[in-house]
Amino acid sequence: MVWPSDAGPARRGWQHLLLARRSISDPSDLAYFAVHAREGTALSAIVNVAGMRWGVEDCFETAKSDCGLGHYEVRHWEPWHRHIALDPAAFAFLSITATRTARLKRSDGPAATDLSSQPP
């Protein structure tokens, strides 16, 4: 469904769309997405991009619980800025470390137990 936008004049070659998703488990549960895409963009591409949203939301929820992303009191700009900059870095470090550890545990052979034999 295409609709006019209050965001400003229409740009040539772009369109605003409304994407609706129905839950498989509960058909009465609908989710809506406002989409801004180039004209002629395939529906499958729009659906794939909309589906990426849950991965991003999951990362934010994990960062909130594991790194304290949502635990701050805003009193001054500088401490808030440090906190917001440090939390994603800590979350990235923890994610990479967990992924590498899981790969080492899955692999068979000496690489799983002896890291000194691997080249730097």
The answer to whether 72 and 83 are in contact (CB under 8 A) is: yes
d(C-alpha 86, C-alpha 96), whole Å: 16
- pTM for the model stands at 0.52
**pLDDT value at position 46?**
92
Q: How confident is the model at residue 112 (pLDDT cuts 50, 70, 90)?
A: very low
Q: How far, in Å, CA of 48 to CA of 39, rounded?
A: 17
What's the DSSP call for residue 118? S
Query: What pLDDT is stored for residue 105 in this prediction?
Result: 85
Residue type, 111: A
- 36 closest CA partner among 60, 63, 10: 10
